[in-house]
Structure 1
Amino acid sequence: MQLKDIFASRAMRMKASEIRELLKLLDQPGILSFAGGIPDPNLFPAEAFAEAFQGALSGGQQAQSLQYSVSEGYLPLKEWIVGQMARMGVDCDPDNILITSGSQQGLDYLGKLFLSPGDTALVTAPTYLGALAAFNAYEPRYDQLNLSGNRTAQSYRDGAAQNGGAVKFAYLSADFANPTGETVGQADRERLLDLAEDLQCAIVEDGAYQDLRYDGDPVPPILALELAKKGTLDNCRTIYCGTFSKTLSPGLRVGWIVAARPVIAQMVLIKQAADLHSPTLNQMAVNTVARQQFDSHVEKVRAAYKARRDAMLRALKQHMPPGVDWTRPEGGMFIWITLPAGLDGAQLLARSLDSVKVAFVPGQAFFADGGGPNTIRLSYSVLDEAAIEEGIARLARLIAETLAEQDAVSPRQVSAEVV
């Protein structure tokens, strides 16, 4: 007998992240990587953090920064978040906030809080791979969240009941989603609120990219729209997950959850059992840097990523062969590519790494049902504009070559309109 033979059933649902594995390629010489949706380390406010950590470790602050602390989080940081949420139309107080070790921990806690084996989570197709990884451990069933009006609440209920559970929440990234870069419009956000009311389920709003808008008018967070209707956050069913990972630093692992106080109170118990509290030293440093320069730093980050997004969109338009489609995000870090039918993203990646030295993420991993084999995700956050141009040109040549080879074996049908 080996210990793996007595692992819990949930362990069989845990899989290695394709993205985390691909990040290992960043250190290989010659690889141009569009894979990891990671911030550019050259944009980190490193000097400000060095001073903030020094301050937290001196002048008597070390007694607090290095000691055990409350599970709810560092109060001054929560107070700063209160102000930030108010700017987005969400009036809350510190009791509505829990500090987490990145928003990823928040997703794990929400899966633990809501999902019993067999319950249903509604997710978009595609959706954030990390959310699926967080929820999988709690053995849910997934159903596709469709905001176009083609699905009724009763159809969702029936599907959940046939699986022996109930719909517990709808999860989505409403702004510049990972992986597609797309944004959910206000009308669809309103429809989701109506659907959640009908289903009596929660909404998990992932706001990881909320601050990275480059074009267009901001859309109110789903939580802000619900709060405007209900008047008090404690009556809202939307749970907002925020993070400093995409703006200040991912390595410090500081995120937060905003929700009704009964939800926060229960999640505090989960955090007490899991890790007691997020590192106070990190929270203190983030609080200091956020208060000093959050807005100015985010403007700097936006300018850099906007230029890179524009460079990728130009390169895609210039180099990609006919039949390849892509999204045109107003912000975030990602562009979603749909390849012609019959082209497999995973197979293309293997060939790309071998021949043109370009990395990306195959899209199939982002589908709860294993769909989307002819899709890939590209990130423009790390490479400079010249490298983006070169990488897209290489990838486009490879796609064109692959399509030509396929046509030589089995010619694709061309529509009469194209002819």
Structure 2
Amino acid sequence: MTIDIQDLASEELATKDWAARFSTRMAGIRASEIRELLKLLEQPDILSFAGGIPDPALFPARAIRAAYAEILADGAQAAQALQYTVSEGHGPLRRWIAERMTRDGMPCEPENVLLTAGSQQALDLLGKLFLDPGATVIVARPTYLGALQAFNAYQPAYLDLPEGALDGDAAARAAVGACAPRLGYFVPDFANPTGVSLTLAQREALLDLAEAGDFPLVEDGAYRELRFGGEAIPSLLALDIARNGSIEAARTLFCGTLSKTLSPALRIGWICGPKAVIEKLVLLKQGGDLHVSTINQMVAHRVVSEGYDQHLGRLRAAYGGQARAMLAALQQHMPAGVSWISPEGGMFVWLTLPAGLDGKDLLARALTDIRVAFVPGAPFFAEAPAANTLRLSYSLLPPDQIEEGVRRLAGLIANG
């Protein structure tokens, strides 16, 4: 009888307890409730306020298609587009980003910019660069779930920004200083999940906190270009540069993306910050995936180089109209005891339900009884989740369906 050692080894591996072999960091990794809810979009009878994703009808598909065709029709450009490239990213696109950020009050050079596979990879790289196990990250309450997921792999502790810390409360500010944060993460413009924007005074106060505690700030600017109301406020990085004289002296790292404005599938994001930080991030990018798709970078550059501001105007008009439809429907249909925040940009409205109602339980009933989807609020809290909250996105549905979905949801809430 011949025994095949390789077959025995394969059979033993198949019966191993893989969980016992995973690294300790995997204990903090959980599936995204939002990513799971996106599967509901495939069910045509669901009215979904769940995914905070762009309306595909607004993608510049014709311009993207033309850019791919033109690049691939040119022999020299095709050879470049289908080849490896530098980890920092496509030079012309980095120059365009640097020029645009400079125009927005954040003077920088292409060398201050690293292109990433969406801003989600940017968050992962920043977590890898700055976080050791047990290091404290200070975040808003609530905050972007994707940031928590990116940072969780590096086993940090979290501190929800204490209420009043940005409004002059000395005790709240002392609580931040006492925890010695290693990193701060914030979405100052139309935050995911709340839609809230920090005021100018609050942005200055956040920079004061970071300076006093000597920790870097990550500014997530994913929704900054989607303002449809109110007056623009300088970014954290712009205020930081104004204080300190240049981007090289700043402590703020700005994460941008074309996913919300151009197309998520291109996977084009970036980090902008001091060159000393960018140089280290480039090394991490090299060890991760070498670089963002070369052809996608070249296509993105072609598309944004012509008519990008006009395209943004169309996005703002569309999302502004959908936001107004949602706010009107909430005002008309929601029962007493439900409150919400009115955004001036972005894709989200945040609801607080009467005490005792659980957003997760409400979602289970909503899917079954009224065929409406949304995201429960609890996963967005780093500490002490508030179960009686939920996030509604208005980015995908037309106004008539928004009104109908809110009407159904209001009836369900009214019935407890």
- 1:145 aligned onto 2:165: no
Query: 1:155 corresponds to which residue?
Result: 175
The question of whether the paired residues in 2 share the 8 Å contact of 1:169 and 1:204 is answered with: yes
Structure 1 residue aligned with 2:363, among 349, 372, 375? 349
In 1, Cα distance between the equivalents of 2:204 and 2:256?
A: 20
SS at match of 2:159: strand
The question of whether the paired residues in 1 share the 8 Å contact of 2:177 and 2:212 is answered with: no
One-letter amino acid of the structure 2 residue matched with residue 156 of structure 1: V
Query: 2:7 corresponds to which residue?
Result: none
The question of whether the paired residues in 2 share the 8 Å contact of 1:153 and 1:198 is answered with: no
- How far residue 87 of structure 1 moved from its aligned partner, in angstroms, is 1.7
- How far residue 231 of structure 1 moved from its aligned partner, in angstroms, is 1.0
- 1:239 aligned onto 2:253: yes
The question of whether the paired residues in 2 share the 8 Å contact of 1:179 and 1:335 is answered with: yes
Query: 1:227 corresponds to which residue?
Result: 241
Query: 1:415 corresponds to which residue?
Result: none
Query: 2:3 corresponds to which residue?
Result: none
- 1:283 aligned onto 2:320: no
Structure 1 residue aligned with 2:320, among 302, 306, 312? 306
In 2, Cα distance between the equivalents of 1:332 and 1:169?
A: 25
- How far residue 293 of structure 1 moved from its aligned partner, in angstroms, is 1.8
Q: Provide TM-score, normalisation by structure 1.
A: 0.93
Structure 1 residue aligned with 2:70, among 55, 62, 74? 55
Query: 2:4 corresponds to which residue?
Result: none
The question of whether the paired residues in 2 share the 8 Å contact of 1:145 and 1:170 is answered with: no
- Residues 175-232 of structure 1, C-alpha deviation per residue, up to 9 Å, x if partnerless? 0000000100010100111111110100000000000001111000000001011111
SS at match of 1:395: helix
- How far residue 145 of structure 1 moved from its aligned partner, in angstroms, is 1.7
Cα RMSD over matched residues?
1.0
The question of whether the paired residues in 2 share the 8 Å contact of 1:132 and 1:368 is answered with: yes
Structure 2 residue aligned with 1:73, among 89, 96, 103? 89
One-letter amino acid of the structure 1 residue matched with residue 136 of structure 2: T
Query: 2:117 corresponds to which residue?
Result: 101
The question of whether the paired residues in 1 share the 8 Å contact of 2:140 and 2:160 is answered with: yes
The question of whether the paired residues in 2 share the 8 Å contact of 1:175 and 1:207 is answered with: yes
Matches within 5 A, 1:184-333: 184-333=198-347
In 2, Cα distance between the equivalents of 1:192 and 1:7?
A: 38
- Residues 347-387 of structure 1, C-alpha deviation per residue, up to 9 Å, x if partnerless? 00000000000000000000011411000000000000000
* Structure 2: stretches of 5+ with no match in the other structure: 1-15
Query: 1:411 corresponds to which residue?
Result: none
- How far residue 239 of structure 1 moved from its aligned partner, in angstroms, is 0.3
- How far residue 83 of structure 1 moved from its aligned partner, in angstroms, is 1.4
Q: Provide TM-score, normalisation by structure 2.
A: 0.94
Q: Report which stretch shifted further, 1-10 or 241-250.
A: 1-10
- Residues 81-120 of structure 1, C-alpha deviation per residue, up to 9 Å, x if partnerless? 0111012101000110000000000001111110000000
- How far residue 2 of structure 1 moved from its aligned partner, in angstroms, is 1.8
Query: 1:4 corresponds to which residue?
Result: 19
In 2, Cα distance between the equivalents of 1:96 and 1:29?
A: 44
Query: 1:173 corresponds to which residue?
Result: 187
In 1, Cα distance between the equivalents of 2:95 and 2:122?
A: 19
- 1:359 aligned onto 2:373: yes
One-letter amino acid of the structure 1 residue matched with residue 308 of structure 2: F
In 1, Cα distance between the equivalents of 2:246 and 2:70?
A: 37
- 1:112 aligned onto 2:128: yes
In 2, Cα distance between the equivalents of 1:171 and 1:373?
A: 22
- 1:15 aligned onto 2:34: no
One-letter amino acid of the structure 2 residue matched with residue 113 of structure 1: L
Query: 1:391 corresponds to which residue?
Result: 405
In 1, Cα distance between the equivalents of 2:65 and 2:307?
A: 14
Query: 1:410 corresponds to which residue?
Result: none
SS at match of 2:115: strand
Query: 1:26 corresponds to which residue?
Result: 41
Identity of aligned residues (%): 55
SS at match of 1:211: helix
- 1:88 aligned onto 2:104: yes
Number of residue-to-residue matches in the alignment:
396
Query: 1:413 corresponds to which residue?
Result: none
One-letter amino acid of the structure 2 residue matched with residue 249 of structure 1: S
- How far residue 155 of structure 1 moved from its aligned partner, in angstroms, is 2.7
In 2, Cα distance between the equivalents of 1:53 and 1:346?
A: 43
The question of whether the paired residues in 2 share the 8 Å contact of 1:34 and 1:359 is answered with: yes
Matches within 5 A, 1:34-53: 34-53=49-68
One-letter amino acid of the structure 1 residue matched with residue 287 of structure 2: A
One-letter amino acid of the structure 2 residue matched with residue 298 of structure 1: L
In 1, Cα distance between the equivalents of 2:33 and 2:284?
A: 28
SS at match of 2:182: strand
SS at match of 2:248: helix
SS at match of 1:57: helix
Query: 1:125 corresponds to which residue?
Result: 141
